[in-house]
Structure 1
Amino acid sequence: MEVGHEGAGFAFDNEGPRHKTYLAPYQLANRPVTNGEFIEFINDQGYETPDYWLSDGWQKVKEEQWGHPQYWMKKDEEWYTYTLSGLQVVDPRAPVTHVSFYEADAYARWAGRRLPTEQEWEHAVKDQSTDGHFMEDGHFQPHSHYSNKSFDKAYGDVWEWTQSPYVPYPRSKPLEGALGEYNAKFMANQFVLKGGSCVTPRSHIRLTYRNFFYPHMRWQFSGFRLADDV
């Protein structure tokens, strides 16, 4: 199959050139992991079990005393999260957000699955519409519509971690001049996120968009969905 921007319309330099890639048989969940499902990981001592974590991730867990997604707190046996509208009860049906790549990867291992590659993600959702909840909708917080098991939209609410390192596509060359520093100079030690979030402008929503963050970062509206081999 082919992935990457075709060249029609606006795209950032890191989205091309379009190129062929090989995919082995795989399956991708039709929605991101929810808060309720992530709480099961917490309750099963996911943050206390090194077997689930990459070495660097486990070091972060210990150094920064991670025990839950960023902005969460527990009071009277109930989870709360700090949102742009203040402190709110965690909605168990909404997609989990503000988790790092390390946490997403650890959850996937705990669940007996894995994170998708960016190529798998792009292939799986190529025929889906870009409808979703974005910045212009004014919600600024993920919704609970993911409780619908048939829900299969890929855009809006949370950016989704992939297992793919942020590196140049084949035959990609930095742009000339200062523009060449816009994306190319950051292509090291980061991972690709796909989709979009509840605070992403609609103009940034397209299949080939490659967001990227360091694996320990949690402040972004970042979640994940599971994949597996077939």
Structure 2
Amino acid sequence: MTDPALDAETLRERALTTLTTARARTTLLTSCVDEPDLTAQHSPLMSPLVWDLAHIGNQEEQWLLRAVAGRDAMRPEIDGLYDAFEHPRSERPSLPLLAPAEARAYASEVRGRVLDLLEGTAFHGTRLTEAGFAFGMIAQHEQQHDETMLITHQLRIGPQALTAPDPDPAPPFTGPSEVLVPGGPFTMGTSTEPWALDNERPAHRREVAPYWIDTTPVTNGAYRAFIDDGGYDDERWWTPDGWAHIRRHGIHAPLFWHRDGGQWLRRRFGVTEVVPPDEPVLHVSWFEADAYARWAGRRLPTEAEWEKAARHDPVSGRSTRYPWGDADPAPRHANLGQRHLRPAPAGSYPEGESPLGVRQLIGDVWEWTASDFLPYPGFQVFPYKEYSEVFFGPEYKVLRGGSFAVDEVACRGTFRNWDYPIRRQIFSGFRTARAAEGA
């Protein structure tokens, strides 16, 4: 039998590591620009960076100090200011937000009290404390906001504020362009991952017909062929809503792209560069991904198809935590955690491929799927309905796999993301699929 004390110490160390990692990233994202850039709204789609900073601290206080520890509110008067559902992003600059120094001090004080709490926490007794779930939930929440803040940095107009080394060069991918995924049942979702969120639960059996799926995400070079063939000017490839949207807004290429003579350039974190043909395409909406797939004679994979390609081991018949197995992600597996500020070339990370030979399913770019964001059979809200339940419905499309901006704590084979089909500022790409003949 495993020593319970050792188990508790392991959980404590994991919680401490993930919270510390998230806070280091938050600090980087909010200290690399001057105060005017922290308080400005760089896009009506995004909050001022200083709002995210105090919101991170407020959520940590509410869930760890109040809900877990039962303590009184430190600053109850600011709860409403940092309630994401009470104030749309476009309105947040007009609120009496904490100034940057005050927001930093508040988040720091909350974190100090949380670390004291962590020292004495027993990881059992309630659903919130079981296996350190509440600490994991807060670490994931902070990392999700870190990705949101990185999106804000990409939207920000001005000198480069962030730097990171590029991914290692990779030889041109010469493997098969697609992989056959056999039909049959597999286990989707999870009932055992201790820090999985409610929309990932419960584990359940899904039957999937055989299909082919791209070995790698669709690249910039492949997407350019769609543009050059007049894809944005041909209504045949677009849903009615998608066609109306691109015509209304004059969209003719991925966000941040522009043509200069005979070449395409893009803006990436304050730097203008030639669009690299071998990278997965980035900053495309669901409408654009769907149109490309139709033009290519293919389709977007369903969410179940994506997860089967990522988790199903045909030899054992079981579903693994990640494409490469059950081990936590390492740099050799995937491009995660803002280690780089761009996707790696298509075909990178052979050690991260799935048993079926599909690559880059985790990291690099969020991948649009054909599916609406809906609950799994047996879904139960936990710990609050505003995390998942209020978003269920056909208005949102599911994205899978994470991007280079996602930390491993907020990314696994069962993790589900969702957004409106018009969204392009997110780090989104896609791969395509097709039915197997005779299926």
Structure 1 length-normalised TM: 0.93
* Higher mean C-alpha deviation, range 196-205 or range 50-59: 196-205
* Aligned residue type for 1:171: G
Q: Which residue of 1 aligns with 2:387?
A: 182
Alignment of 1:50-129 (within 5 A): 50-126=235-311, 127=313, 128-129=323-324
What secondary structure sits across from 1:88 in the alignment? Answer: strand
Q: How far is 1:140 from its partner?
A: 1.3
Q: Does 1:192 align with 2:398?
A: yes
1:148 and 1:108 map into 2 onto residues whose CA distance is 24
Instruction: Flag the structure with higher strand content.
Output: 1
Q: Which residue of 1 aligns with 2:336?
A: 134
Contact 1:136 1:202 in 2 (8 A): no
RMSD: 1.8
Pick the aligned partner of 2:372 from 145, 165, 179: 165
1:7 and 1:226 map into 2 onto residues whose CA distance is 30
1:136 and 1:142 map into 2 onto residues whose CA distance is 10
Q: Which residue of 1 aligns with 2:423?
A: 217
Contact 2:349 2:360 in 1 (8 A): no
Q: How far is 1:85 from its partner?
A: 4.7
Q: Deviations over 1:8-32 (max 9, x none)?
A: 3211111111111110111111100
Q: How far is 1:135 from its partner?
A: 2.1
What secondary structure sits across from 1:61 in the alignment? Answer: helix
* Aligned residue type for 1:144: P
1:39 and 1:146 map into 2 onto residues whose CA distance is 18
Distance 1:136 1:96, change over 3 A: closer
Distance 1:27 1:82, change over 3 A: same
What secondary structure sits across from 1:198 in the alignment? Answer: coil
* Aligned residue type for 1:185: V
Q: How far is 1:171 from its partner?
A: 1.4
Q: Deviations over 1:119-164 (max 9, x none)?
A: 1111112152252111241x11112243899872311110000001
Q: Does 1:11 align with 2:213?
A: no
* Aligned residue type for 2:386: E
What secondary structure sits across from 2:399 in the alignment? Answer: strand
Structure showing greater Rg: 2
Contact 2:216 2:346 in 1 (8 A): no
Q: Deviations over 1:178-212 (max 9, x none)?
A: x1211110112101111010111111120000010
Q: Which residue of 1 aligns with 2:413?
A: 207
* Aligned residue type for 1:165: D
Contact 2:310 2:358 in 1 (8 A): no
Greater RCO (CA < 8 Å, at least 6 residues apart): 1
What secondary structure sits across from 1:125 in the alignment? Answer: helix
Contact 2:336 2:408 in 1 (8 A): yes
Contact 1:95 1:146 in 2 (8 A): no
* Aligned residue type for 1:154: L
* Aligned residue type for 1:202: E
1:109 and 1:148 map into 2 onto residues whose CA distance is 28
What secondary structure sits across from 2:267 in the alignment? Answer: strand
Distance 1:13 1:118, change over 3 A: same
% identical equivalent positions: 40
1:36 and 1:123 map into 2 onto residues whose CA distance is 27
Q: How far is 1:40 from its partner?
A: 0.3
Q: Which residue of 2 aligns with 1:33?
A: 218
1:20 and 1:148 map into 2 onto residues whose CA distance is 29
1:18 and 1:84 map into 2 onto residues whose CA distance is 39
Distance 1:148 1:211, change over 3 A: closer
Q: Which runs of 5+ in 1 are unaligned?
A: none
Alignment of 1:143-158 (within 5 A): 143-146=344-347, 152-158=359-365
What secondary structure sits across from 1:190 in the alignment? Answer: strand
What secondary structure sits across from 1:160 in the alignment? Answer: strand
Post-superposition, which runs of at least 4 consecutive aligned residues in structure 1 deviate over 4 A?
A: 147-151
Q: Deviations over 1:26-57 (max 9, x none)?
A: 11111000000000000000000000000000
Structure 2 length-normalised TM: 0.50
* Higher mean C-alpha deviation, range 29-38 or range 85-94: 85-94
Q: Deviations over 1:42-95 (max 9, x none)?
A: 000000000000000000111001100001111122111111251111000000
* Aligned residue type for 1:134: L
